[in-house]
């Protein structure tokens, strides 16, 4: 399942919409709740980012996102 993680690069500043970034994680799970938990743990263990939101991406959304030029699945 594909998850989209919205984050700020630093925890030192208040989050702003204009500085929000996103990345994609592909996890071997079908349980959305478990995937969100796993995504948060992966981000906590591998980055110093401030995580704003994690969203499970449907197959239709994934197909749309894959068409965008900047699409890249992040691996740690």
Per-residue pLDDT reduced to its tens digit, 54-76: 999 999 999 999 998 889 999 98
**Rounded distance, CA 72 to CA 75, Å?**
9
Give the pLDDT confidence score for residue 8 in this predicted structure: 95
3-59 pLDDT, tens per residue?
Answer: 999 999 988 888 888 999 999 999 999 999 999 999 999 999 999 999 999 999 999
Looking at the chain, how many residues does it have?
76
Q: Cβ distance 22 to 6 under 8 Å?
A: yes
Is the Cα torsion angle 19, 1, 34, 48 positive or negative in sign? Answer: negative
pTM of the model as a whole: 0.89
Give the pLDDT confidence score for residue 15 in this predicted structure: 85
């Amino acid at each position: 399942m594909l998850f989209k993680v919205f984050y700020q690069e630093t925890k030192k500043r208040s989050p702003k919409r204009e500085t929000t970034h996103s990345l994609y994680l592909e996890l071997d799970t079908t349980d959305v709740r478990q995937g969100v938990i796993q995504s948060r743990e992966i981000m906590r263990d591998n980055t110093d980012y401030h995580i704003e939101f994690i969203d499970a991406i449907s197959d239709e959304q994934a197909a749309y996102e894959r068409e965008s030029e900047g699409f890249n699945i992040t691996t740690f």
